[in-house]
Structure 1
């Protein structure tokens, strides 16, 4: 679904906690409760298919992978992942950072453990937790994505699917020790009907893909037969919502201050 379609649909998705948003880093607040996300089962090989559902590519996930911690307040189980991209590797992420749009964005959709479906979880204001990851263009191909990139050739048309090769969620995201820095806010689904039931976690660490890998997604087709490009919803108004960032940022600042203090003390002893 491209920006043109969203222009008409947005009239029906016009509440005050909509997603995506532009994250202005100077307008965010430190939240020391935002500790590292705890991942369970992300290392397991996924047994699933990758689907062209007419507006993106999606992989439905078994209930074994979960997340908790990070002030989520509950354990959430992974349900599906999907992507948003531009055209031939150009700007295409949904969220932006200080107005910057990345080439592509990955969403891993989770629901609270006690719910049986995304639809059921949407009745809860915090029933859904989505992890968002940005991609950046790299010189070399990302070999961990070969199974997904190769599968795209077989799902060009809407409604087609193919068995996904050996891949785990951990292969698709940065290593866990690089995920301490992230943004958190309350928002919505970015597809109709835009339910405001999503706890968003947007990570700073990016995922590298080559220009050719990023461009491969532009060979797919929407359900109407047109080229599947610019599959992102335009950014929405932040309104009065708070946007917070994790204590990983605080740690870096504190470490820098500590090092500076040590060097100052050493200098004082030598003069």
Structure 2
């Protein structure tokens, strides 16, 4: 808390910029708007349907319409480039991969994916589940199939669909991520890019049978301009990466040369919005409550 107060004090003393930034970038030499002041950089960031959010599982609403997704061409390998865009790692996609189902009213085509992470494998996801922040979060951004550019899709209140995936630290390296990890060392500086060896979206995410448990809510982009036109889907099953793989992302640098760490926006108020859960997610939430109840009961009996 004292750290945040100090940053806010510095902001009031020395900022005169309209640029936005993360706290890890901020200094009087790099004057910029911290997340709590992003509405100064873009008014939409002060809206009432902003992302990310903290998902409180006991308050989520079961929704039978949240059926399994249909993934088309997710298994198809593609060639692309990976870029340090100054605030994340981004890979552009060629619109071959699409999603349907999951109560989406139409098909959406993949446009790009990027990530958000902490410092050296520490907490860094944007969304949180019951207050838990994961080491990293993957966003696969899709737009409605009828659109040809993101700006047009963003003008549609439901024009964008983002699939969010959480990472967890594992004991062994995830070989499916070798191409991504190896490419990071070639894009340490802002605006640098490198060719990416052929990969598929399917190899980057959990297997399809593990993609039936998810949460859904209506929100926004998590960076300025914070446009509120995103249908968010957050999957429960995590992606494993070793500590070394997670730490590799912290070797990148922001445009001012500072380490690219902590590039996540804090959770935003729901402001009355509901978060829905798929049937499989409801079963898992119920099982978790049952385990907690049994644990409490056992604890009480043992204390007598």
User: What is the TM-score normalised by the length of structure 2?
Assistant: 0.81
Would you identify which runs of 4 or more consecutive aligned residues in structure 1 move more than 6 Å? 252-255
Greater relative CO, 1 or 2 (CA 8 Å, sep 6+): 1
Does structure 1 retain, via aligned residues, the 8 Å contact 2:83–2:191?
yes
- The equivalent of 1:7 in structure 2 is 36
What CA distance in whole angstroms lies between the structure 1 residues aligned with 2:257 and 2:46? 28
**Deviation of the 1:249 alpha carbon:** 3.2
1:161 aligns with 2:161: no
Q: In 2 relative to 1, CA 115–224 (structure 1 residues): closer, same or farther, beyond 3 Å?
A: same
- The equivalent of 1:46 in structure 2 is 78
Deviations 1:66-89 (A, max 9, x none): 000010111000000000000000
What CA distance in whole angstroms lies between the structure 1 residues aligned with 2:131 and 2:157? 27
Deviations 1:60-118 (A, max 9, x none): 00011000001011100000000000000000000000000000000000000001111
Q: In 2 relative to 1, CA 254–137 (structure 1 residues): closer, same or farther, beyond 3 Å?
A: closer
1:55 aligns with 2:87: yes
What CA distance in whole angstroms lies between the structure 2 residues aligned with 1:7 and 1:32? 36
What CA distance in whole angstroms lies between the structure 2 residues aligned with 1:183 and 1:157? 35
**Deviation of the 1:7 alpha carbon:** 2.9
Q: Secondary structure at the match of 2:79?
A: coil
Deviations 1:159-193 (A, max 9, x none): 10000012100000000100000000000000101
What CA distance in whole angstroms lies between the structure 2 residues aligned with 1:8 and 1:25? 29
Unaligned runs of 5+ in 1: 256-271
Unaligned runs of 5+ in 2: 1-20, 27-33, 288-304
- The equivalent of 1:260 in structure 2 is none
What CA distance in whole angstroms lies between the structure 1 residues aligned with 2:154 and 2:284? 36
Deviates more, 1:117-126 or 1:3-12: 3-12
**Deviation of the 1:233 alpha carbon:** 0.5
Q: In 2 relative to 1, CA 232–254 (structure 1 residues): closer, same or farther, beyond 3 Å?
A: closer
What CA distance in whole angstroms lies between the structure 1 residues aligned with 2:256 and 2:244? 25
Q: Secondary structure at the match of 2:78?
A: coil
Q: Secondary structure at the match of 2:152?
A: helix
**Deviation of the 1:252 alpha carbon:** 6.2
Size of the aligned set, in residue pairs, is: 255
